[in-house]
Amino acid sequence: MDAVYNFLQYGLTGWSWPALVVFTLATTHLTIAGVTIYLHRCQAHRAVELHPIVSHIFRFWLWLSTGMVTKEWASIHRKHHAKCETAEDPHSPQTRGLPEVLWRGAELYRVASKDQEIMDRYGHGCPDDWIERKLYSGHSALGVSLYLIADVLLFGVAGVAIWAVQMAWIPFFAAGVINGIGHFWGYRNFKSPDTSTNLVPWGILIGGEELHNNHHANATSPKLSSKWYEFDIGWLYIRLLSFVGLAKPRSLPAALTYNPSKQDIDADTVAAVLRGKYELLARLSKLAESAQASLEKARVQQGRLQCDLVKRATDLRNEFESIWAQRSLSVEQAVSALAAWCQRAEASGIAAFQEFSQRSIRRLTVQPV
């Protein structure tokens, strides 16, 4: 009886509670790494190419620790980007409500995974080998069941609690927090055409996925951090794998390039704006807000309403955004529209917009300086 009691209490390992906590955190972090590196950056967006051995390790571990099927996850995520925040988005808090996505995010994934049209349209390029068909996709519940048995054998009754934490980690943090709060609250580096946000600048808890606005602005980038104070641990792991020849990341988005001697608006300017469109839109929005605040302050100090300048600042921001919202615009039309906008900005009498036009737009280039 003592042997049975000891086994139920401690399992085969006999580990202490601190050791169990460390094990739980380590295994959940491995699962997070698998989701962000393999499922998200490699499979869904092709932002990084992994060595087949690394891919299979992640695939096997995710089968054990989540039961997720690669094709289902990638397809649903690709549709999220294609139909972001519309009624067709599988998990948008803007259309479904934050509580629904936060607390039932995993269920929304399960519902979407049963939609064969989503799988057929968005599931191209995902693994379809014998082991995927016969084991990983065909018996997705078997992995998590074996994992439960292993946890109980290793850690006794405590293994059930460890398994429960491991099973709940990704459904809550990835499916709930990132898809929910990550489109509802946080800060934005880029004015992407959605409400995606960065939750914190230290992308550790969910492998870098907290930097969600950065990702929506550059969906095919293998690196999710953008500012110097942001840290993407998933990118760190990719760099380490790349160093030993086990990963090949896609090229990073090019930084905005400026030529101090350039003044003409041309096709090169348009190409440069398109390359850094969301960053420029965010910068212009901040300039507009700052200019409006300064004008309001001047109104209070001088005792007169400068509503014409406030309206002018708002109109200029909206006009700039509308240029790049037109998908059918030709290069020549874009050059003409941008040149006209710069003329209006420089004649606006608003110093912030004049400087933005002269320094941030006219000097933009994609050519090496």
Label residue 305 by pLDDT band (50, 70, 90): very low
**How many Cβ atoms are within 10 Å of 248's Cβ, its own excluded?**
13
Label residue 4 by pLDDT band (50, 70, 90): low
What residue type is 195 in one-letter code? T
Are 119 and 71 spatial neighbours (Cβ–Cβ below 8 Å)?
Answer: yes
Which of 49-63, 234-248, 298-312 has the least mean pLDDT?
298-312
Name the burial class of residue 67, with classes exposed (0-12), middle (13-18) and buried (19+) by CB atoms within 10 angstroms of its CB. middle
pLDDT at 33: 96
- pTM comes to 0.86
pLDDT at 368: 66
Q: Which tokens hold the place of 335?
A: 């050059």
- Alpha-carbon gap, residue 79 to 192, rounded angstroms: 17
Distances (CA, A) of 173 to 96, 134, 208, 272: 18, 29, 12, 36
| Residue 364 or residue 329, greater confidence | 364
- What is the pLDDT of the chain when averaged over all its residues? 90
Alpha carbon 1 to its chain centroid, in Å, reads 53
pLDDT at 324: 87
- What are 118-141's pLDDT values in tens digits? 999 999 999 999 999 999 998 989
Determine the average pLDDT of the residues in 235-243.
97
Are 48 and 192 spatial neighbours (Cβ–Cβ below 8 Å)?
Answer: no
Q: Are strands 48-50 and 247-249 parallel, antiparallel or unpaired?
A: antiparallel
Are 151 and 163 spatial neighbours (Cβ–Cβ below 8 Å)?
Answer: yes
pLDDT at 350: 87
Q: Which tokens hold the place of 214?
A: 């950065």
| Residue 292 or residue 236, greater confidence | 236
Query: How many residues make up the chain in this entry?
Result: 369
Compute the chain's Rg from CA coordinates: 25
Are 272 and 337 spatial neighbours (Cβ–Cβ below 8 Å)?
Answer: no
- What are 85-97's pLDDT values in tens digits? 999 999 999 899 9
